[in-house]
Structure 1
Amino acid sequence: MTRTTIRLSGDLLRRAKKRAAEKGRTLTSLVEEGLKAVLAEPKRATRKRVHLPISKASGGTLPGVDLNRSADLEDRMDFA
């Protein structure tokens, strides 16, 4: 077994020592169990970054389309 040094917050160390004592275990065995549990978790798949297209078109809406009236938009989409 290899010795190492880790830095923990005071509160975390107190809680870990208390839990180890409650279970009748050493702090080392508790830390080792925690590390094994974390390392056994399946690796999360990284998401592929999606680049959304940006339009360089200028202008506005079609004549007669009022963006404040959803019925106008729906009518135009039905014929598109």
Structure 2
Amino acid sequence: MRTTINLPDGLAEEAKQKARESGRTFTSLVIEGLRQVLSESDMPVRFERLPVHGSSSDRPLVDVSDRDALAAALDADGLR
């Protein structure tokens, strides 16, 4: 199937350069990228529970999204 897509100039040039460097065509690079994106969207997303060690009475629990608190906890345990 023949189709037209509009790409930002920088992205198109970068993709063409990548295709040249790898000895491929621009079209094959686009096809591979689309296949990769489409296959990822078919994969179910699985979330696993994080392991819990110790208890809040042994040591404070840490919010891992708080960089400073996480660093302090790692330093306290000698893990860093």
**TM-score calculated relative to the size of structure 2:** 0.51
Letter in 1 for 2:2: R
Aligned to 2:19: 20
Question: Between the two proteins, what is the percent identity of the paired residues?
Answer: 52
**Larger of the two Rg values belongs to structure:** 1
RMSD: 1.5
Q: Which runs of 5+ in 1 are unaligned?
A: 46-80
Q: Give matches, 1:4-19, under 5 Å.
A: 4-19=3-18
Letter in 2 for 1:19: K
Q: Which runs of 5+ in 2 are unaligned?
A: 47-80
Change (3 A) 1:6 1:44: farther
Counterparts of 2:2 and 2:18, CA distance in 1: 21
Q: What count of residue pairs does the alignment treat as equivalent?
A: 44
The superposition leaves residues 5-52 of structure 1 with CA deviations (integer Å, 9 ceiling, x where unpaired) of 00000000000000000000000000000000000012559xxxxxxx
Runs of 4+ aligned residues of structure 1 deviating over 3 Å after TM superposition are: none
